[in-house]
Structure 1
Amino acid sequence: MKNFAVSLLAACSAVVRAGVSHGEVRPRVIPAVQLSADAGKHPSGDMPTKQVLVTYRSPLEFSLKVPEGWARRETLRSVEFADKYNRISVVVTSRTRPLTLDDVKLHEVQEVLQSGDDVHVSRVKVIWLPSGIAFVVTYASGSAGSPVINKAIHFENARYLFSKNGKLATLTLSAPSGTDNAGHWQIMAESFGWH
């Protein structure tokens, strides 16, 4: 078992080096592999109970609490934070009229359904947050097999839509199914604010 673990770590290191040497724009995050009876399952995506959240202030004129130490990737209209299989992304676009629940059901849900593999929307609702009204689309999705564990991974996702003064911010929180990140997700969604 020890030799297998050493070989597996060497293979993972080679994959990481290959991703860097080819100059990929999107960072590759190679998860830790647990060599136990649960090795056939995906690694847990639970955030630590005492995960420190720090305020990220974006040049796109919003702020949001995010987990300290996660990898960050920015573009001209978006930012993504990632750790293992967990993802937090915000995309800011222009919008000439206020967002409505009907808009979300007609357009945003269709965008979600086309965003990946095996997507199933479970709920669309309106909520009040400190920054004002937000629309939330909750959905499940799948992925292609991971090169490390050679198994498809299923995700739980929550997409929050905030609109104000001609801008639409789409905050998407994703984690492997079965993780318990609801408390952290709520803190992050409540922390969103325009500035």
Structure 2
Amino acid sequence: MKNFAVSLLAACRAVVRAGVSYGKARPQVVKMAQPSADAEKNQFGDILDNQVFVTYRSPLEFSLKVPEGWARRETLQSVEFANRYNRISVTVGSRTRPLTLEDVKSHEVRELQRSGNDVHVSHVKIVRLPSGNAFVVTYASGSARNPVSNEAIRRENARYLFSKDGKLATLTLSAPSGSDNADQWQLMAQSFGWY
């Protein structure tokens, strides 16, 4: 009987060494393949290339494609979509006369520079979009300080101004500096439309 017990103990040890214990396989560690150097590397603030966009229809009588799942906050004259440090906002107001490039340079740019966010305007131009002509102000700015870390970041911004029938919509797209969102921003700007 002693020999049987010794043999049984030796057999159990052999089974454990082989990776099986009490009829269950020992967990295996599987190493994941490292991404290739060619794989896309998303920078802080990038909107992913596979991001799904949905059409938002505002009670302010405009529509816009926005990233699905982003937080939304609405007021009587505006809407904002946010995800981490990315922001998309639209405000709608009234305008009695047609908007001109000189108006944008003298009024909109001055308002931005007075905002106190260390604004540096790089371009002011007119672009042709499916909804008609729009004025674009491209600028860099500082963000508000994070209440936890007390840090601020630099932002890239594109502000589109759309006017029609006495209304002015201001679409502002913002992301951390260095983000690669050109295609996504173009998609959103081209999707803007009045109804």
CA shift, 1:159, in A, is: 0.2
CA shift, 1:149, in A, is: 4.4
Q: Is the 8 A contact 1:80 1:87 kept in 2?
A: yes
Q: What is the match of residue 60 of structure 1?
A: 60
2:86 maps to amino acid: N
Summarize the alignment of residues 94-173 of structure 1 with structure 2, pairs less than 5 Å apart.
94-173=94-173
Map Cα deviations across residues 91-128 of structure 1 (whole Å, 9 max, x no partner): 00000011000100110111111234111111100000
Q: Is the 8 A contact 1:139 1:156 kept in 2?
A: yes
User: Identity, % of aligned pairs?
Assistant: 76
Q: Is the 8 A contact 1:146 1:153 kept in 2?
A: no
Q: Is the 8 A contact 1:113 1:119 kept in 2?
A: yes
1:72 is paired with a residue whose SS is strand
Q: Partners of 2:144 and 2:172 in 1: how far apart? A: 19
Larger radius of gyration: 2
Q: Partners of 1:109 and 1:181 in 2: how far apart? A: 23
1:77 maps to amino acid: Q
2:174 maps to amino acid: S
Q: Partners of 1:57 and 1:116 in 2: how far apart? A: 32
TM-score normalised by the chain length of structure 1: 0.76
Which stretches of structure 1, 4 residues or longer, exceed 6 Å deviation after superposition?
none
Q: Partners of 1:75 and 1:149 in 2: how far apart? A: 28
CA shift, 1:153, in A, is: 0.3
2:79 is paired with a residue whose SS is strand
2:55 maps to amino acid: T
2:73 maps to amino acid: R
- Structure 1: 5+ residue stretches without partners: 1-42
Summarize the alignment of residues 15-94 of structure 1 with structure 2, pairs less than 5 Å apart.
44-94=44-94
1:91 is paired with a residue whose SS is strand
Q: Partners of 2:115 and 2:87 in 1: how far apart? A: 14
RMSD over aligned Cα atoms: 1.2
1:155 is paired with a residue whose SS is strand
Q: Is the 8 A contact 1:116 1:143 kept in 2?
A: no
Number of residue pairs aligned between Structure 1 and Structure 2:
153
Q: What is the match of residue 181 of structure 1?
A: 181
Q: What is the match of residue 34 of structure 2?
A: none
2:135 maps to amino acid: F
Query: Once structures 1 and 2 are overlaid, which stretch shifts more, 115-124 or 144-153?
Result: 144-153
CA shift, 1:151, in A, is: 2.6
Map Cα deviations across residues 53-108 of structure 1 (whole Å, 9 max, x no partner): 10000000000000000000000000000000100000000000110001001101
CA spacing shift, 1:85–1:48, aligned 2, 3 Å: same
